[in-house]
């Protein structure tokens, strides 16, 4: 039996947070044994906000090293850089022609980004979810492991697959999101009502995968909590709820185990322990990252081989699409 196909990606826009790790990458590791997985570094997406070219190059290789350090294995999965597979941009164009403006203007992420960056409201930001749909549909993906914030984009990918299949003939698999219940939305340490994000102006709001132990201790110590004083997982205590989620993700302990362990214990002690749990969880990743990042030959081998395989599969789908819309074969 053929293995189901999994696709996901992260933007190389610098500094990956533990939100990216818990909500996405951490869940990708186990999928590698069961499915045929494609994990991309989505640099075409990254340029929808201004990037310094040399930083983008560095961040792309950094992200590849982080993928490896987290346990993505090029022997098992196809790991590649999005811009190395031209079919992504080509399919995006075709999908653009069946995407309604109204649907794109209802995308929460677009609305948020356009509120924040009025002076750079480029067309790429608007059609960003169409590129994401192309990423997914090119590989006949069935499962897309992402954090909660990508759910709406996934709906669009499903809609476009169905619309194309209906208008022409069955061409794309209709993908399903794979969103874990816990950890799918890690919140800012400074404002537990908004998502943890690397674009937060306040660096105390997020922890980066590559943060030093002292920075992790400091940020967790300053994390916003409440005056209730109990370690309980509930919506009245969003700060504590978020910290329990982080604790659970890194320790593997269940929410109940954590609540029981910290019954009657103060926030100070809980935060100290949490910091150590996070530091310990990130240590092997940071260590491996430092080994890999200087091995440019290895990194190059991984992304070249990944691109070769990805191009082969993506072009198969693109050829079908071009034929169906009526383009003369090249
Ligand atoms: P990006 O780069 O913003 O984030 C990468 C992944 O991390 C998840 N994530 C979070 N999960 C939990 N809590 C958080 N605070 C948090 N912040 C981020 C995201 O949900 C995502 O899974 N558009 C995508 C990248 C992309 C993609 C794709 C994903 C492009 N093409 C195709 C899947 C399939 C993005 O910007 O993710």
Per-residue pLDDT tens over the stretch 114-157: 887 777 789 999 999 999 999 999 999 999 999 999 999 999 99
Together in a domain, 114 and 46: yes
pLDDT digits (tens, 9 = 90+) for 206-215: 999 999 999 9
4 is catalytic: no
Instruction: Please check whether residue 281 lies inside any domain of the structure.
Output: yes
Together in a domain, 137 and 170: yes
Residues whose CB is less than 8 angstroms from the CB of residue 326 and which lie 6 or more positions away in sequence, other chains included: none
At residue 40, what are phi and psi to the nearest 5 degrees?
-115, 155
Instruction: Please check whether residue 191 lies inside any domain of the structure.
Output: no
Residue 15: which region, alpha, beta or left (left: phi > 0; alpha: psi -120 to 50)?
A: left
Together in a domain, 218 and 160: no
CA of 90 to the centre of ligand 1 (A): 22
Instruction: Please check whether residue 244 lies inside any domain of the structure.
Output: yes
Instruction: Please check whether residue 195 lies inside any domain of the structure.
Output: no
Together in a domain, 176 and 95: yes
The one catalytic residue in 26, 173, 195, 219 is 195
Together in a domain, 62 and 175: yes
CATH code where residue 65 lies: 3.40.50.620
Atom of ligand 1 nearest to the CA of 45: 30
CA of 11 to the centre of ligand 1 (A): 8
Residue written as tokens 């590989």?
Answer: 139
Q: Are 220 and 278 in contact (CB under 8 A)?
A: yes
Together in a domain, 156 and 54: yes
Q: Are 247 and 253 in contact (CB under 8 A)?
A: yes
Q: Give the residue-averaged pLDDT of 238-263.
A: 97
For residue 2, the model assigns a pLDDT of: 87
Q: What's the mean pLDDT when you consider all of the chain?
A: 96
Comparing CA positions, the residue from 294, 322, 324, 278 lying closest to residue 90 is: 322
Residue 149 buriedness (CB in 10 A; 0-12 / 13-18 / 19+) = middle
Together in a domain, 43 and 73: yes
Question: What is d(CA 119, CA 69) in angstroms, rounded to the nearest whole number?
Answer: 37
Q: What angle do CA 320, 169, 330 make, to 5 degrees?
A: 20
pLDDT digits (tens, 9 = 90+) for 36-65: 999 999 999 999 999 999 999 999 999 999
- Is residue 295 very low, low, confident or very high in pLDDT (cuts 50, 70, 90)? very high
- Continuous segment of H or E residues that includes residue 80: strand 78-81
Q: Are 84 and 311 in contact (CB under 8 A)?
A: yes
Instruction: Please check whether residue 189 lies inside any domain of the structure.
Output: no
195 labelled ligand-binding: yes
Together in a domain, 218 and 108: no
CATH code where residue 266 lies: 1.10.240.10
12 labelled ligand-binding: yes
- Continuous segment of H or E residues that includes residue 112: helix 108-116
Residue 180 CB–ligand 1 contact under 6 Å: no
Together in a domain, 299 and 156: yes
CA dihedral 17, 199, 77, 155 (to 10 degrees): 120
What is the domain range of residue 43?
Answer: 5-184+295-325
Together in a domain, 103 and 213: no
Report how far Cα 298 is from the mean position of its chain's Cα atoms. Answer: 23
Tokens of 3: 């293995």
Together in a domain, 70 and 146: yes
Tokens of 106: 């209802």
Tokens of 9: 């990606």
- In the chain, the number of structural domains is 2
Instruction: Please check whether residue 330 lies inside any domain of the structure.
Output: no
Instruction: Please check whether residue 316 lies inside any domain of the structure.
Output: yes
Instruction: Please check whether residue 198 lies inside any domain of the structure.
Output: no
Together in a domain, 180 and 226: no
Higher-confidence position of 119 and 90: 90
């Amino acid at each position: 039996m053929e293995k189901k196909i999994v696709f996901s990606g992260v933007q190389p826009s610098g500094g990956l947070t533990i939100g990216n790790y818990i909500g996405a990458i951490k869940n990708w590791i186990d999928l590698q044994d069961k499915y045929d997985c494609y994990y991309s570094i989505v640099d075409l997406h990254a340029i929808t906000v201004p990037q310094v070219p040399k930083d983008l190059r560095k961040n792309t290789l950094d992200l590849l090293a982080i993928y490896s350090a987290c346990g993505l294995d090029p022997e098992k999965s196809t790991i590649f850089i999005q811009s190395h597979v031209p079919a992504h941009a080509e399919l995006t164009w075709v999908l653009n022609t069946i995407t309604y403006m109204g649907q794109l203007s209802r995308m929460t992420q677009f609305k948020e980004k356009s509120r924040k960056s009025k002076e750079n409201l480029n067309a790429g930001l608007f059609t960003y979810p169409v590129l994401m749909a192309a990423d997914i549909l090119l590989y006949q993906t069935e499962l897309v492991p992402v954090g909660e914030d990508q759910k709406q984009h996934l709906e669009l990918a499903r809609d476009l697959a169905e619309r194309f299949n209906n208008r022409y003939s069955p061409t794309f698999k209709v993908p399903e999101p794979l969103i874990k219940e816990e950890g799918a939305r890690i919140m800012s340490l400074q404002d537990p009502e908004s998502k943890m994000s690397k674009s937060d102006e306040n660096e105390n709001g997020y922890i980066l995968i590559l943060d030093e132990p002292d920075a992790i201790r400091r940020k967790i110590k300053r994390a916003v909590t409440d005056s209730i004083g109990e370690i309980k997982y509930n919506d009245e205590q969003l700060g504590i709820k978020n910290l329990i989620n982080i604790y659970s993700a890194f320790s593997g302990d269940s929410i109940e185990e954590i609540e029981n362990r910290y019954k009657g214990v103060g926030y100070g002690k809980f935060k100290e322990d949490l910091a150590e749990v996070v530091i310990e969880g990130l240590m092997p990743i940071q260590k491996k990252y430092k080994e890999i990042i200087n091995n440019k030959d290895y990194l190059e081998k991984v992304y070249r081989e990944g691109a070769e395989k990805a191009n082969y599969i993506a072009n198969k789908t693109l050829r079908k699409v071009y034929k169906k819309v009526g383009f003369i074969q090249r």
